[in-house]
Amino acid sequence: MFNHLLSLLIWLPILGAIPVLLAGSGRPNAARWISLLVAIATFVASLCLLPQFNAADGAKQLLENHVWISSLGVNYGLGVDGISVALILLTTFVGILVIVGAWEVIQTNPHQYMAAMLVLEGLMIGVFCATDALLFYVFFEAMLIPMFILIGVWGGPRRVYATLKFFIYTFFGSIFMLVGLIYLYLQAHTFDLAALASLPLSMKEQTWLFFAFLIAFAVKVPMVPVHTWLPDAHVEAPTGGSVVLAAVMLKIGGYGFLRFSLPIVPDAADAYAWVVIGLSLVAVVYIGYIALVQEDMKKLVAYSSVAHMGFVTLGIFIAFMLVRGTNNLDAAKLGMQGAMVQMISHGFVSGAMFSCIGVMYDRLHTRQIKDYGGVINVMPWFGFFYVLFAMANSGLPGTSGFVGEFQVILASFQANPWIAFFAAFTLIIGAAYTLYMVKRVLWGDITNPHVAEMKDINGREWFVLGAFAAAVLALGIWPQPLIHLMDASVSQLVTQLGNHKI
Amino acid sequence: MELSTSILLTIALAPLVGCVLAGFFGRFIGRAGSHTVTILGVAVACGLSFYVLYQITAGGAPVYNQNIYTWFDIGNYSAHVGFMIDRLTAMMMVVVTFVSLLVHIYTIGYMAEDPGYQRFFSYISLFTFSMLMLVMSNNFMQLFFGWEAVGLVSYLLIGFWYKRPTAIFANLKAFLVNRVGDFGFLLGIAGVLYFLGTLDYATAFAAAPTLAGKTLQITQNTHWDAATVICILLFIGAMGKSAQVPLHVWLPDSMEGPTPISALIHAATMVTAGIFMVARMSPFFELSETALSFVMIIGATGALFTGLIGIVQNDIKRVVAYSTLSQLGYMTVALGVSAYAGAVFHLMTHAFFKALLFLGAGSVIIAMHHEQDMRYMGGLRKYMPITWITMWIGSLALCGVPFFAGFYSKDAIIEAVGESHRAGASYAYFCVMAGAFVTALYTFRQMYLTFHGKERFVVVHDHGHGHGHDDHGHAHADHDEHHHVSHKDDHGHHEQGIMHETPKESPWVVTLPLILLAIPSVIVGALAVKPMLFGDWFGSAIHVNEANNVLGELGKDFDTWLTAGLHGFGQLPFWLVAAAFAIQTYIYLFNPALADRIKNALKPIYNVLNHKYWFDAVYYIVFARGGMALGRALWKGGDATIIDGVLINGSASLVDRIAGGVRRLQSGYLYHYAFAMILGLILLLGGYWLVGQ
């Protein structure tokens, strides 16, 4: 029995980057094909998780544990539960699409670009597999490097400002987490997450740790008011960078809350749940209004990401109110599941939206909404996908965008109808900013003569958008398989919320 | 015989298959292929719907209620996709598929020249699928799916001619106003789950009585009655979809869409989804007197005041649109007085005669080469007799002239309101009674302006300019140009009132649906009034408390359709219609100048109506402009100034400034360092000295 599947998933793309780099700038096609093969192999390997993984068990599975730094008690510990499996599948799925999406688009040093993408993919999978806090931290930080390179090298004109902002912002957040982890190590003499979860901590300790984690993950998600790096990073990032950033990297913030804030500092998390819930609602309403007035398509979708990720943090922390306030475990599960489904769905929808913008950018070399108008006249197939993804972004039932938001709103109502009231505001404002963009970009008569020369999507673009569309529809029409995959893990998390440490 | 799942699945999915084939493969299967597959799909659905109705009413089939698959299953909460087929559903299925089928056929004629022919068929089949999912649902999740899906198709169809700025404005507006309603609707569904713990209809309705006495905490000291909150939230959804005041503003603008969809979506089916939903939720609404009063007052206001706007409209489709708003108000009033069966009955008759009126208007528009302004019509009856006669039938049904379908449904509503003792019922009674007069005023005005009197257009034969309906031979691109220009409101290149060929009757694909709709517009009322209104036809599908049963009261005096019809001639509503008929006949047939004189004499009132009570203007300023201004203020003030300017770049520049200050110390000049050393020495020694003291 081969029991290093998780290691394989992490190291296959990272090591696969080496032959891609070796292909060099002289043989761009070799670099492209090798990276595609590596990405496909990783995806296939991630599919092998499904038969090996027992969804009925909420505990970590497929465990691997090796001593890494024995003097510090750091282990190379890997393991996955249903939530990790779902996120790994999302990562490997998107991994293929960004390689295909960049195929002819990246002309300068494609081998380096592809290699950076593969390394990034491996590191992100590592984050989702780590059961050791320090290992998590290493992957978490290492991820910044390939993304820094992707934006800094292949980015737009203000890429230096954007990369610095991105790097310092997220690094600033991580430092607090590192301090928190060191403190925890001094108490527990281990970085094992399971051991940390059962470590008794006073309320004062928990509060400090909670805010340390909050700062780290809030920047990553990102939550208001530490979200301003995201629009800048997206605007300057190449399409593939934006897709990975929105589809997977943001999820790591939400994932961090699940692995750190919830099990390690449950009492402080409960006491300050209102902070996170409040900020999540601000994200929905305040960011919604800001998205409405954006002139740059990427900025608009970036702000829309902030608003949608608000549902993730809302769903996670509403569970506290439900479990500890009214002992309403089922509603808490509903909210938590909603948050998880929203993570996966947002991965598809935002990835698809950024891919769409990339398709237009490749043709017209502008992201300004005012430069477009009437695109549907020349690109009907593209228009079909664009409207589909816009509707998913507006949370239309039948698309994945609806499922998580629906569940989170239903669960919030059980905690407090006013929370549901503000969360449901996304129905109006989300549709307003998304469809107002569609109106100005897609519909109407052609006013810019360059738009008239735009060609409809080619086979490669069809493949990327079609794959996203299939995922968006499949999850929207039948979410139960995904929910079943995560159900036992979510139940276990929710049960843990009730465990008081003091 | 029990209904089989496969039949029900076929009904729902056949139109979807048609949609996919016409939408994705339209280019391969061509125009004829596209309309064949979609019509086939809807025809299958329609035939099987009639079969289901037969089985449910005469075949002894029990109510079907089964889940097809599990959508999600979390703890005790679950959502499914499934069907519940009772009499209410079966009736709705027949109405939806029947009207849809006729509209599909009609479209062959109406859209013959349009370059988006396949796309259009794909959309209307998608609509039929969505609407069927809505009415056949057995749970709130699927209801919401259908609810939003029909909204999506409505969005796509209003903006079908996407080059027209007015169309893409109207579809965005329609979607967003509907979303305001859906916002309430979704919260209502959340409330149902909170209080009753299920999204399944049957379970929720069975548990509805447990709502009594429960409250929802709104603030520290405010608790609202659970049933009232849920019902009003659900009804807000209905206000959006069924265009009730003050969320009615999107419906008149939706006339930017092609006429067939105005008939199908914005008159016969989608806009009545709200009415259907409230009737379906009758076990909840019966629990809240407050919510029902609210429903009744909203409905009554719409019934009268939107009808009044119809009187001053010159666009033939807009008259019908305002008429639809007014009739939706009637249905809502009926819901508000617990006459759910009356509302649904009017929904059905209205679906037939209003679809007929819209399609008739469309037939006129074809004959007039996309001229929609009635001031440039007149005397069309001799050119298009079938359209003329069928539209008169629809008009008489709409006005509620005895023996026509609309009479039985509308009269019952007026009387039911008269019977009701609910708070606000006398206001509602005034509104629906006055509304009957108003309905007749705009209807007869429309008929006279269109078909009677002098021709207010001239026919100039110049063949070089022809873009009539026969020029199928034109190149495609050429068509495209012509089409969109000729659809513009301002009519682009061609002058109003000048026709390039004589108007003529539309082809059979257009007139056949008119005839097929005219038949039920006459007879369906007389046929169905007794069982549906007074005979407990709906059975378990609609629940009315004994104390609220106004229709039961009316039923005691009801004998047969014949006596009821004869009795109708002696009633006030009929005489109001007759008076309106006399007035309009005098004005438009004998003294056309009088209309303008009245308009000038009543200038202030005319202004109020012509500006539609300024709803649109105020909404535009407050919500559209206001929202943008707020967004800009938050963006510049919040994100750019406070967060980025002060906190992020501010701290960066603070670091920069401190570093700059500190850097100045490292000047590299020897005398600076020497000076600093001396200064340090003095401070050090001085310090020792101070400590020593």
**Span B426-453, pLDDT tens digits:** 999 999 999 999 999 999 999 999 999 8
The pLDDT of residue B462 = 67
The pLDDT of residue B494 = 60
Q: Range of A393's domain? A: 272-502
A424 has a pLDDT exceeding 80: yes
Per DSSP, the three-state class of A458 is: coil
Is A114 a member of any domain?
no
Q: Given CB atoms, is A333 within the 8 Å cutoff of chain B? A: yes
A413 has a pLDDT exceeding 70: yes
Q: How far, in Å, CA of B98 to CA of B525, rounded? A: 17
A396/chain B closest Cα distance in angstroms: 7
Is A446 a member of any domain?
yes
In A, minimum Cα distance to B76 occurs at A330
User: Which stretches within A130-256 are classed as H helix?
Assistant: 133-142, 144-154, 159-188, 193-197, 203-220, 229-236, 239-244, 250-256
Percent of chain A with pLDDT over 90: 79
Which of A398, A428, A479 has its CB closest to that of B183?
A: A428
Q: How far, in Å, CA of B387 to CA of B28, rounded? A: 35
B661 has a pLDDT exceeding 90: no
Check: CB of residue A12 under 8 Å from CB of residue A18: no
The pLDDT of residue B320 = 94
Q: Which of residues 60 through 79 in chain A touch B, CB cutoff 8 A?
A: none
Q: How many CA atoms lie within 13 A of A59 on its CB side?
A: 4
Is A315 a member of any domain?
yes
Say if the Cβ atoms of B74 and A337 lie within 8 Å: yes
Q: Given CB atoms, is A414 within the 8 Å cutoff of chain B? A: yes
B648 vs A contacts (CB less than 8 Å): 165, 169, 228
- Chain segment B549-575, per-residue pLDDT in tens: 888 888 888 888 888 889 889 899 999
Q: What share of chain A is helix, strand, coil (3-state, %, to 5)?
A: 75, 5, 20
The pLDDT of residue B398 = 95
Q: What dihedral do alpha carbons B645, B647, B653, B657 form, nearest 10°?
A: 130
Q: Number of structural domains, chain A?
A: 1
The pLDDT of residue B531 = 87
Task: Give the residue-averaged pLDDT of B353-368.
Answer: 94
B168 vs A contacts (CB less than 8 Å): 439, 443-444
Q: What dihedral do alpha carbons B149, B152, B153, B158 form, nearest 10°?
A: 150
Q: What is the 3-state secondary structure (H, E, C) of B71-97?
A: EEEECCEEEEEEEEECHHHHHHHHHHH
Which secondary-structure segment (H or E) carries B405? helix B405-419
Is A416 a member of any domain?
yes
In A, minimum Cα distance to B130 occurs at A398
Say if the Cβ atoms of B144 and A407 lie within 8 Å: no
Lowest mean pLDDT among A358-362, B65-69, B588-592, B641-645: B641-645
B581 has a pLDDT exceeding 90: yes
Check: CB of residue A483 under 8 Å from CB of residue A341: yes
Q: How far, in Å, CA of B72 to CA of B380, rounded? A: 57
DSSP strand pairing (A74-80 vs A61-69): antiparallel
Q: What amino acid occupies position B206?
A: A
Is A71 a member of any domain?
no
B664 has a pLDDT exceeding 80: no
- In the block, tokens 């505990």 appear at A59
Is A332 a member of any domain?
yes
Lowest mean pLDDT among A63-72, A377-386, B484-493: B484-493
Q: Given CB atoms, is B630 within the 8 Å cutoff of chain A? A: yes
Say if the Cβ atoms of A480 and B73 lie within 8 Å: yes
Confidence category of residue B32, pLDDT binned at 50, 70, 90: very high
Residue in B444, B448, B446, B450 with CA at minimum distance from that of residue B364: B450
Q: Given CB atoms, is B20 within the 8 Å cutoff of chain A? A: no
In A, minimum Cα distance to B24 occurs at A381
C-alpha B639: how far from chain center: 38
B263 has a pLDDT exceeding 80: yes
B639 vs A contacts (CB less than 8 Å): 228, 290
CA angle B347, B353, B355 (to 5 degrees): 90
Task: Give the residue-averaged pLDDT of A468-481.
Answer: 96
Say if the Cβ atoms of A331 and B77 lie within 8 Å: yes
- Chain segment B197-245, per-residue pLDDT in tens: 999 999 999 999 998 888 888 888 888 999 999 999 999 999 999 999 8
Is A18 a member of any domain?
no
Q: How far, in Å, CA of B520 to CA of B643, rounded? A: 65
A401 vs B contacts (CB less than 8 Å): none
Lowest mean pLDDT among A28-37, A79-88, A247-256, B369-378: B369-378
The pLDDT of residue B69 = 94
A374 vs B contacts (CB less than 8 Å): 162-163
The pLDDT of residue B471 = 39
Q: What amino acid occupies position A303?
A: Y
Say if the Cβ atoms of B165 and A444 lie within 8 Å: yes
Say if the Cβ atoms of A424 and B183 lie within 8 Å: yes
Q: How far, in Å, CA of B211 to CA of B281, rounded? A: 14
B631/chain A closest Cα distance in angstroms: 4
Q: What is the DSSP letter of B2?
A: P
Which of A289, A391, A487 has its CB closest to that of B74?
A: A487
The pLDDT of residue B500 = 82
Check: CB of residue A256 under 8 Å from CB of residue A216: yes
Q: How far, in Å, CA of B209 to CA of B195, rounded? A: 11
- In the block, tokens 């070799």 appear at A30
The pLDDT of residue A2 = 60
B163 vs A contacts (CB less than 8 Å): 374, 377, 444-445
- Chain segment B460-519, per-residue pLDDT in tens: 876 554 444 443 333 343 344 334 434 444 444 467 888 888 888 999 999 999 999 999
Report CA Rg, chain B.
31
CA angle B541, B542, B547 (to 5 degrees): 150
Q: Which of residues 361 through 380 in chain A touch B, CB cutoff 8 A?
A: 374, 376-377
- Chain segment A100-120, per-residue pLDDT in tens: 999 988 888 899 999 999 999
C-alpha A198: how far from chain center: 28
Q: How far, in Å, CA of A377 to CA of B658, rounded? A: 56
Is A77 a member of any domain?
no
Say if the Cβ atoms of B190 and A410 lie within 8 Å: yes
In this structure, the number of other CB atoms found within 10 A of the CB of residue B659 comes to 10
Which secondary-structure segment (H or E) carries B65? strand B64-74
Q: What share of chain B is helix, strand, coil (3-state, %, to 5)?
A: 75, 5, 20
The pLDDT of residue B487 = 43
**Which residues make Cβ contacts (< 8 Å) with residue B485, sequence separation at least 6?**
B492, B493
Say if the Cβ atoms of A165 and B179 lie within 8 Å: no
- Chain segment A293-315, per-residue pLDDT in tens: 999 999 999 999 999 999 999 99
In A, minimum Cα distance to B73 occurs at A480
